[in-house]
Chain A
Amino acid sequence: MKKMLKTRLALAALATAAVLPAGAAFAEYPEKPVTMYIGFNPGGAVDTTARLIQKNLEEALGVPVIAVQKPGGGGTVMATTMMHAKPDGYTIGMGASAAYVLAPLLNSDIQYTLDGFDHIATVSYPQDALVVKADAPWDTYADLIKDAKENGKSLSLSSQVSVSRLMAIAIEEKEDIKINVVPVKGGSEGIKNVLGGHTDMTWGASGWHAQVKAGEMKPILSLGYKRNEDFTDVPTMHELGIDYAFVDTFMLSAPKGLPADVKAKLEAAVMAAITPELAKELREKMYLTADYRGSVDTLEYLEMQREEVLPFVEKMLAE
C-alpha cells in the first residue's frame, strides 16, 4: 500500500513536470514570505524608502515582506550577503547604486561587480547638493571658483563618500583650483563642519534640506542628471559644463540567476508599489524623488553610471 502510494506520487510529480513549462517549480511564486534586506541603518533615506514600500510590495505580491537590516559599508555588506543567497526571489535587497557602481571600482575587498546581481528595479533617489554656509561670500558656483582663482585660495570640502571626492577631482581638473578634501564619517559631520566654519563646503544627499530651508546654508550645485524637483534654482554640474554626475539611486536587487518569471513578477510588484501616494510621501518626508525603472533599464542605467565615473575613479586611484 505504502509502496503504491509512493509510486503514484512519483508518477504524479513526473506528470506535472512534463506538463508544465520550464521554470514551473516557481510557477506559484510567491508562496512564502519574501525577505528584504535593507543595506543601511534604520532611520536613513534608504531605510525609509524600504519601510514605506514594504507594505505596498506585500499587497502586490500577496505574501508578507520581512525587512531585515544589513547595514554597513554604504550598502556593500548587504550586497555581499545577498550575493550568496539563493536566487529564488525570496531574498531581495534594498540598496543604493553607489554600492554596485562605485564600491567595486574603488575597493579591492569587494568581491562583486554590478553584473553579479539581477537588479529588479530602481525606486527613488535623493535630492543632493553642494552646500556652503549662509554667510559665505559665495552665492553661486561661479562666485566660488572666481574667489578661489583670483585669490589663490584652496577650498576645503568635507567629504563623506567617494561621490563627492570624485566631484572634487572633476572640479579641480576643470577649473584648475585646489580643493582640500577633509574626510568625515557621516553626512551630519560635514554639515557640522560647514555650520561651524571649519570647512568651506560639504556635499550631501540628505540632512542639508532643513538647513537650507532655515536659511543656514546655501546650495550651489547638484550632481543630478536633472535639477532637484524641490530646489529648481540649483544648477547641475552638467549645466555648468563639467562632465561629472552621479545620483545614488535606491534600488531593489536580487542574487544573480533569478528565474525570468519571478523577476517579472517582482518588477511588476515594484511598479505597482510606487503609487502616487507613496511618491508624495517620499518627497514630503525625505525629499526623495520616486523613480521607477524596470530591470533592463536599471542595468543600463547602472552601466551608464559606471561609464561616467570611470575616468574620475582612475584619477582618484592614481593620486
Chain B
Amino acid sequence: MDTVLAGVSDAFTLINITYIAMGVFMGIMVGAIPGLNGPMAIAVAVPLTYYMSPLGSIAFLIGINKGGTYGGSVAAILLNTPGSPESTSTAFDGYPLVKKGKGLKALKMALYASITGDIFSDIVLFTVAAPLAIVALRMGPPEMAAVFAFSLTIIAGLSGKSILRGLLAAILGAYISCVGLDIETAQPRLTMGLSDLIEGVPIIPMTIGLLALSEILIQIETTLLGRQTDSGQYRVFGKDIPKEDRTVSWVEYKSCLRTIVRSALIGTGVGAIPGIGAIVAGFLGYGAAKRASKNPEEFGTGKLEGVAATEAANSAVVGANLIPLLALGIPGSLSAAILIGAFLMHGVDPGPLIFQEHGQLIYGIFAAMFMANWINFGIANLGLRLFAMVVSVPKGIIHPIVVVLCIAGAFANGNAMFSVAVMMVFAVLGYFMRKLDFSFATFIIGFALGGTFEQSVRQSVILFKDSPWTLLTHPIVMLFVALTIFAVWRILNGQMSVKKVVAVAPDSPSVSETKS
C-alpha cells in the first residue's frame, strides 16, 4: 500500500502534470490532423523523453497515445478523413451528423465515449491485469486463428449496401496483405522485385491515401464539377442551431451507454491480447453495435450510437495494451513496443518482475494514466470548439492543406518517398472504391486481419499437422469456431430476409446519404 501511495504522490507533481498535458495536447493535435497519427507521434517523441524522469517520460508518451486516439475522431467526423485507421468507422456516422449541423454534438459524443472507454480499460488494467494476462497467454496460434475467423464475421456487417462488394473489397485487402516476405520460407511474395515492399505494403501511408486523400479527391471533384448541392461549408455554431444539436444530453449518453460498455469490453479484450490491434477494435465495436441494434439500417446515416461505438472501442485498447506489457513484458502493439524502448532507456526492464522491482513507478504510471484521462477530457473539451470551426472554413482553403498534410504524413512513415507513392496509389484506389461504392472498411479489415490470420493458420498447421484432432481439446478454439459458425448462419439468414424485404418494398430508402 505504501508503494501505491508513494507512486501516486510521485505522479502528482506539477512537472508530471505538465508533461501529461503536453503529451495529451500533442496527441490530440497529431491525431486530429489527417495524415498524422498517434504511433507516429510517439515514435517521434521517444528521443525527447531521454531527458525526462522515467515517470515523466512514460506519462508523456501515454498522454500522446490517449490524446491521439481521441484526436483521430476529430478529422473523421469533421472532414470525413479519418486521422488514423482506428477511427474509420467514426466517420460513418460522424460526418453525416456534421452535414445535419450536429458536428459539435458528434465531437462531444466521440469524446465522452472515448473517455469512458479509456477509463474502463484503465480500471481493468489497474485491477485485473495479472489474471487477464494469463488468459491472454493461452491464446496460441490456433486460438488466434479462431478469434480472427470470428472477427471477420462480425465485420461482415460493415460491408455496406452490397455484401458481395463488401466481400470483394475484403478479399482485395487480404490479397494486398500477402505482399512481402513469406513468413515461413522468408522468400519475397508479390513484391515485383521492389525491395521497399519486403516488409509488405506499409499500412500508414496506405490508409492515409485510402481514407483521407481519396475523400479529398472526391470533395474537390464535387466542388469543381459544381455537383455540390450545398456550399460544402457546414455550420456547427450559431444561435439558429438549437442547443440540443450542440450538446449531448445525459439521456442521450445513457441511451448509448450499453453500446459504450459493449465497445469498451471489446476494446479491452482486443488490447489485452497481443497482436490484434486497435484498427480491428474500432470496426468490431461498430459492427457489434450495429448487430445488436433494433434499427441497424440507421447506422451510417448519422446515428450518435455509431460514433460512440467506434470511439469507446478504439480508446479502450490504449489502456488494455499495457496489460501484456506490464504483466508479462510482451508488447501488444507498436505503441507498446516503443514504450518498452522508453522503459529500457530509463533502466527499467519491463518483465514479470516490474511490479516488484519498480512498483512505485508502475503505480505512478497508473495514477498518471488516470489523470491523463481527465486532462484529455479537459483539453479536448476546450479544443473541440476550435476544431469545429474547421467545417466553416471554405473547402478551397481546407483541401490544399489536407493534401499537403497527407503527403507529409506519408513521408514521415519511414522517411521515404516510396511511402508517398504508396499513398498516391491507394488514394486512386480509394477514389474508385468510393465511386463504385465498395466498402473501404472491409478492405482495411481484410488487410489488417489477412496477414495475421494467414500467419496464425500456418503456425497452427505446422504445430498440429501430425495430430489435428488434439485441437478438439482446446476450449477457446472450439468456442470461437462455434461462434463463427453461428454468426455465419445468422448472416446468411439475415441476407435472405433482407432480400425478401427488398423484394416487397423496392423503394425502401437507401443509405446514400454518405455518398455525395
Contacts and interface: CB of A to CB of B under 8 A. Distances in A.
Given A43-B46, A188-B330, 6 more contacts: A41-B43, A67-B47, A70-B416, A109-B195, A109-B197, A184-B455
Interface in A83-121: 106-111
Contacts of B188: 107-109
A144 interface: no
| Secondary structure type dominating chain A contacts | mixed
Contacts of B193: 109
B183 A188 contact: no
B353 interface: yes
Contacts of B186: 106-107, 162, 165
Contacts of A111: 195
A2 interface: no
A308 to B, nearest CB: 19
Interface string B158-199: 000000000000000000000001011011100101111111
Among B137, B186, B353, the most chain A Cβ lie within 10 Å of the Cβ of: B186
A41 B337 contact: yes
B198 A198 contact: no
A202 B346 CA distance: 27
A124 to B, nearest CB: 14
Contacts of B414: 69-72, 77
B195 A76 contact: yes
Nearest to B196: A77
Contacts of B494: none
Interface residues of A, number: 55
A213 B349 contact: yes
A192 B328 contact: yes
Interface in A211-247: 211, 213-214, 216
A43 B353 CA distance: 20
Interface centre among A72, A181, A191 (most CB of B within 10 A): A72
B3 interface: no
B274 interface: yes
A111 B198 CA distance: 12
Interface in B304-343: 324, 328-331, 334, 337-342
B141 interface: yes
Interface string A183-216: 1111011011101111100000001011101101
Contacts of A42: 43, 46-47, 338, 341
B338 A185 contact: no
B415 interface: yes
11 contacts: A41-B337, A41-B338, A43-B337, A51-B50, A109-B188, A109-B198, A184-B455, A188-B274, A189-B274, A209-B351, A210-B329
Contact of B347 (A108, A162, A285): A285
A287 B21 CA distance: 33
Given A77-B198, A156-B463, A196 B329 contact: no
A211 B330 CA distance: 10
Contacts of B344: 43, 48, 285-286
B309 to A, nearest CB: 29
Contacts of A81: 416
Given A165-B186, A182-B463, A188-B331, A216 B337 contact: no
A291 to B, nearest CB: 19
Contacts, number: 150
A209 B349 contact: yes
Interface string A159-190: 00010010000000000000011111110110
Interface of B: 43, 46-47, 50, 137-141, 181, 183-184, 186-188, 191, 193-199, 202, 274-275, 324, 328-331, 334, 337-342, 344-345, 347, 349-354, 414-416, 455, 458-459, 462-463, 466
A67 B46 CA distance: 12
Nearest to A192: B330
A68 interface: yes
Interface in A257-297: 284-286
Contact of A214 (B187, B324, B352): B352
A311 interface: no
Contacts of A23: none
Contacts of B416: 70, 77, 81
Contacts of B353: 210, 213-214
Interface string A42-74: 111001100100000000000000011111110
A80 B202 CA distance: 17
Contacts of A209: 349, 351
A51 B51 CA distance: 12
Contacts of A73: 181, 195, 198-199
A191 B194 CA distance: 31
B352 A69 contact: no
A180 B194 contact: no
A186 B43 CA distance: 18
